[in-house]
Amino acid sequence: MEQAEAQEKIVEALKLKLKTKSKFYFNDLSGILDMKPREAKKYINKMVEDGILEYWSSGSTSMYGLPGTGKQAGAENED
Amino acid sequence: MAKHKTPLLDQLETGPWPSFVSDLKQEAIKRAKNEKGLELQIPVDVVEDLLGVLELSYKHGRTHWKHGGIVGVFGYGGGVIGRYNDQPTMFPGVAHFHTVRVAQPGGKFYSTEYLRQLCNLWDLRGSGITNMHGSTGDIILIGTTTPQLEEIFFEMSHNMNQDLGGSGSNLRTPADCIGQARCEFACYDTQDLCYNLTMEYQDELHRPAFPYKFKFKFDGCPNCCVASIARADMSFIGGWKDDIRIDAEAVKAYVGGEIKPNGGAHAGRDWGKFDIQKEVIGLCPTGCMKYENNKLTINNRECTRCMHCINAMPRALRIGKETGLSILVGAKAPILDGAQMGSLLVPFVEVNPDDDYQAIKKVVESVWDWWMEDGKNRERLGELIKRQGFQKMLEATGIKPVPQHVKEPRSNPYIFWKEEEVEGGWERDIDAFRKDHLR
Ligand code: HEM
Ligand code: HEM
Ligand code: SF4
Ligand code: SF4
């Protein structure tokens, strides 16, 4: 899969869910790409690097989201 | 003089133990004085406000910290734990109060120069409050603001040869015992293996893609000084295959009282004359030692390498020469299903730095492949092993079952064969069978 295609799939799928959810587990993303985790990771790393996705963490668990989405980003003025 | 009144916290100082409240008050005064004239980069009253919000939390019986947020510096998905206060007007000094995880050096060998550098950096760009060390074993710097994160990281990575540690759903900062640097019991070079795997798995450490956290810990022998068996999803514990080396003369010297047992520990009171029968032979968990006619013998086949006899008489007994390590998996703290100790996955594997520890990395990666694919979100490896079964892990990792995988006989004696494992499969000639066996 091309990076661009993977990116499109992820962005589209996450936008669709934005009404109910702004943070996603890694395996939600590998599920969207329909890939094994280790393979999906290469694409997802790149998307973070390119600023298409951003990390969120509770400290113990990490999640991914589209930058600036979710209520917390606004609340902390970090968006 | 204190910014906030803290009667509940003050009470904690009245107990018999040194109190963190006293430490915090001391740090608050130090920051207010700022004797070095630092251009403090985060609010001067950060510690005052920390005390204030803690007092309020005690009063309300509720936390005033929000959960989660920013996670790191550019390119890192861990190493920083974002914390924000939900009363920023009342306590502006701790409106942002992020934690930075810093990878501790192998075996926690520090130079005073390094420690000074670290503290100076943290006085300038953070709260000055440290936790040496966190439960995982890393350096924890508590309390800074978002704009300081990149500055701190730049200083560490450019001027201190220092990386951040792990947090979130990734490989956590690996931790090891001092190992062969100082300890005669070490069966492999813990620091070299810890460093090697840390460098090999940088991506796993800094970019979270696991279902949950994953910890490596390295103990040079079963004494388990970093408690890997209880705290690591994957523990690497040194051991040996051959015989415990016995120095008969030294055994006699212990028996004769010329050498103090346990390296002279337990010296606080008089425990009486050393009794080899009672203190060593009788405490061997497998009963595989004998002391007869002034001669010590060990049935090494039965020895479980518990280390007791070696700890008691270190000058008489030494680890074997054919050393390696055991890999255990699945230890974890409570939360779900209670605490769990590690289960033995690989009884013995050679530790070979010359081929870059290939045998060990193969096990690591096969376990990760299984867990990353089958593990549920927020499921630790130990919980997955319980849910799908140890047997499933053996299948997934391609490791052959061996007697050491059996925890104890009889509790679960039924092994289910698969058709492909049985010669001739399930097919049989029913007529031939019926000739000998009536219905
Ligand atoms: C050479 C002959 C036999 C061998 C090698 C053999 C082997 C075994 C083994 C390995 C077990 C499992 C033990 C365990 O739970 O750890 C077992 C269980 C059992 N065997 Fe045998 N067996 C033999 C003959 C027999 C005979 C002749 C009978 C009955 C007439 C019998 C009745 C049972 C029963 C009832 C159990 C189940 C015990 C339990 O559930 O705890 N076995 N046998
Ligand atoms: C009214 C008569 C019987 C009743 C109600 C009965 C009931 C049971 C029950 C409830 C179990 C446990 C099953 C399980 O663990 O899931 C069992 C196991 C067993 N019974 Fe019986 N039983 C009876 C007669 C017999 C007889 C006559 C024999 C042998 C000739 C026998 C041999 C066994 C054996 C070997 C097991 C162990 C099976 C295993 O561990 O998997 N039972 N029985
Ligand atoms: S775990 Fe063993 S090898 Fe490591 S420091 Fe402790 S006693 Fe020594
Ligand atoms: S190491 Fe433990 S099991 Fe082995 S001989 Fe010594 S006391 Fe016994």
Domain map of chain B by residue range? 7-159, 175-240+324-421, 245-318
Protein residue with its CA nearest to atom 39 in ligand 1: B410
**pLDDT value of position B413:** 58
Residue B412 alpha carbon to ligand 2 centre in Å: 17
Tell me which chain B residues have a C-beta less than 8 angstroms from the C-beta of A75.
66, 84
**pLDDT value of position B27:** 96
Residue B412: nearest ligand to its CA?
1
Calpha distance B70→B88 (Å, rounded): 17
* Ligand 4 atom closest to Cα of residue B287: 8
Protein residue with its CA nearest to atom 6 in ligand 4: B309
Taking the CA of residue B177 and the nearest CA in chain A, the distance in Å comes to 24
Calpha distance B405→B178 (Å, rounded): 29
Domains of chain A: 3-75 (1.10.10.10)
ipTM over the 0.85 cut-off:
no
Which pLDDT tens digits describe chain B residue by residue (439 residues)? 689 999 999 999 999 999 999 999 999 999 999 999 999 999 999 999 999 999 999 999 999 998 778 778 988 999 999 999 999 999 999 999 999 999 999 999 999 999 999 999 999 999 999 999 998 899 999 999 999 999 999 999 999 999 999 999 999 999 999 999 999 999 999 999 999 999 999 999 999 999 999 999 999 999 999 999 999 999 999 999 999 999 999 999 999 999 999 999 988 888 889 999 999 999 999 999 999 999 999 999 999 999 999 999 999 999 999 999 999 999 998 877 789 999 999 999 999 999 999 999 999 999 999 999 999 999 999 999 999 999 899 999 999 989 888 877 766 556 677 888 888 888 888 899 999 999 8
Residue B401 alpha carbon to ligand 1 centre in Å: 22
* Ligand 3 atom closest to Cα of residue B237: 1
Comparing C-alpha atoms, which of B413, B375, B378, B411 is closest to residue B393?
A: B375
Q: How many CB atoms lie within 10 A of CB B172?
A: 27
Calpha distance B284→B147 (Å, rounded): 58
Protein residue with its CA nearest to atom 7 in ligand 4: B284
Query: What is the pTM assigned to this prediction?
Result: 0.82
CB pair distance less than 8 Å for A56 and B167: no
- Interface of chain A toward chain B, CB-CB under 8 angstroms: 25-27, 36-38, 40-41, 44-45, 48-49, 55-62, 72, 75-76, 78
What are the structure tokens assigned to B263, written together? 């390296």
**pLDDT value of position A79:** 42
Angle at A20 between CA A14 and CA A24, to 5 degrees: 45
Dihedral angle computed from the Cα positions of residues B34, B37, B38 and B43, in that order, rounded to the nearest 10 degrees: 40
Tally C-beta pairs within 8 A across A and B: 91
Tell me which chain A residues have a C-beta less than 8 angstroms from the C-beta of B99.
59
Angle at B132 between CA B126 and CA B133, to 5 degrees: 120
- Interface of chain B toward chain A, CB-CB under 8 angstroms: 66-72, 75, 77-78, 81-84, 96, 99, 146, 167-170, 203, 207-213, 368-369, 372-373, 377-378
Comparing C-alpha atoms, which of B91, B30, B26, B84 is closest to residue B55?
A: B91
Region B175-240+324-421: CATH code: 3.30.413.10
CB pair distance less than 8 Å for B68 and A27: no
Residue type, A56: W
**pLDDT value of position B412:** 58
Q: Does residue B410 have its Cβ closer than 6 Å to ligand 1? A: yes
Domain B7-159 shares a fold with domain B245-318:
yes
Q: How many CB atoms lie within 10 A of CB B102?
A: 23
Residue B116 alpha carbon to ligand 3 centre in Å: 28
Residue B429 alpha carbon to ligand 2 centre in Å: 29
Identify from B142, B145, B335, B377 which residue to disrupt to test chain A contact, counting A C-beta atoms within 10 A and taking the largest count. B377
Residue B277 alpha carbon to ligand 3 centre in Å: 25
Tell me which chain A residues have a C-beta less than 8 angstroms from the C-beta of B67.
58-59
Give the DSSP H/E element, type plus range, for residue A38. Answer: helix A37-49
The pick from B407, B410, B414 for probing ligand 1's pocket by mutation, whose C-beta has the most ligand atoms within 8 angstroms, reads: B410
Q: What fold, for B245-318?
A: Alpha-Beta Plaits (3.30.70)
pLDDT beyond 60 at A74: no
| Cβ-contact B168, B68 below 8 angstroms | no
Calpha distance A65→A18 (Å, rounded): 9
Question: In CATH, what class is B7-159?
Answer: alpha beta
Residue B420 alpha carbon to ligand 1 centre in Å: 24
Helix/strand/coil (H, E, C) string of B41-77?
Answer: CCCCCHHHHHHHHHHHHHHHCCCCECCCECCCCCCCC
pLDDT, tens digit (0-9, with 9 covering 90-100), for A28-68: 999 999 999 989 999 999 999 999 999 998 888 899 999 87
Protein residue with its CA nearest to atom 5 in ligand 4: B303
> Which has the higher per-residue pLDDT, B279 or A77?
B279
| Cβ-contact B82, A57 below 8 angstroms | yes
CB pair distance less than 8 Å for B209 and A61: no
Who among B67, B168, B377 is closest to A27 (CB)? B377
